[in-house]
Structure 1
Amino acid sequence: MTENTNRVAIVTGGSRGIGRETAVRLGKDHFDVVVVYSGGKAEAEEAVKDVEQAGGRAIAVQADVADEHSVNALFDTAEREFGGIDVLVHAAGIMKLSPLADLDLSVLDEHLRVNVRGTFVVDQQAARRLRNGGAIVNISSSLTTLARPNYSAYAASKAAVNSISLILARELRGRDITVNAVGPGPTETALFMAGKPQELIDRMIAEPPLERLGQPEDIAEIVAFLAGPGRWINGQTIYANGGSAA
């Protein structure tokens, strides 16, 4: 390891969607980025190339965000390769839809494990290891307020992310570390588009005054601001949905 003066970011869920676009956006700000993936190694390696082309350095690391040993090893790798960690962007998550009355409780357990426990595990390591002056950005969802049918498990898990973020911001008093959540609305990612009929997508496009779906780069710009110059924003959930009404 050589001496490194760049800021260092870990981006979970960094191989796809919002996480990948965020990793690339941080690369434009000359971050060194750890692209964290669960199973898509080839996609993660492509994301690394995109970060490098944008102007940063990057490596891909596999981790199970809900497993404390896996996440501990992830942070060890980041520190060993880049010398320290300044920013965590926690974008990894799952979303499976069902009416509450029909929900298989095993699906609820998946959401709690990945989206809630995963946030606890990753944020815990970040709270212990981020250098002073750092930032934690957890990806939540506007569905905590938009309250659409079929999203009860997902929205409940993301409401937990909002609470975790606010409380952690207060617990890190004296460290100069900000903690915020970003709650995207309908955003054109593979996770969002999967299984949705065009009629439903068209209705979602028509809802916000801007009359379009969000794009991953819309969210990445907000995350990059919070990871960089947005130092006076702390303990907040920022809803990024083009003005969709709750």
Structure 2
Amino acid sequence: MTALRIEGLTVARGERTVVADVSLDLEAGELVCLVGPNGAGKSTLVSAVAGTLPVASGRVELAGESIAGLSTIQQAQRRAVLPQEHTIGFTFTCGEVVEMARHAWARTDKRHEDEEAVAAAMTACDVTDFRRRSFASLSGGERGRVALARVLAQGTPILILDEPTAAMDPHYQEQVMAIVRGQVDEGAAALVVVHDLNLAAAYSDRVAVLAPDDHGTGRLVAVGVPRETLTAERVTEVYGLPMRTHDIDGQHVVLPRRDRD
């Protein structure tokens, strides 16, 4: 089933068109990583897909229905969003931050699942010990893990994650991507922005490459399985840096070409 459909999406900020004519479908049980250089419009695109940023044209569907026709609560019951910035006002504890995710189900039968959902999400993200700590007291990587726990506790079939591994060491980068992969293997659809091309190659079913055109407008230039999409030629062109690819223990690996005398 098509969980998330993006059709001809164009987003502008003031006079500038940031992304244009983006079309992409995600099926249930599929993880798509969105990659591209800084300034390509990745965060703008996912904000528009999440319904938090108005679009100039195009259409986004969540589980077959246009996002434009869904209330805020209906959207929150279908998709959970992890923004790039993890800022929470006031002095909320980490437990309270994760509990906020359950608001979407407050007037439904699923409200009885709140405690279990929060506990399971915090355990999965290894943040149970943070439950009574102030969210503001955490490091950037720790905040990211609590924010991911909030997303998981929301219990939606669609995940939209903007740089979930930012500010994390390799151990937690791998842990986070494995958690997301596990959610997808259980039937969720996930659109995940990552900068690390090797994380994208290792965990995604497909990779979508967003790159700026000659006018600086982000456009989708390739979508496909990692090995066929993250080629040395394509990533060299997109990132403006000589790159090479290797097969190491059956994994597709992308590295900068560092020629030294």
Q: Which has the higher contact order (CA 8 A, sep 6+)?
A: 2
Higher-strand-fraction structure: 2
Q: TM-score, normalised by structure 1?
A: 0.34
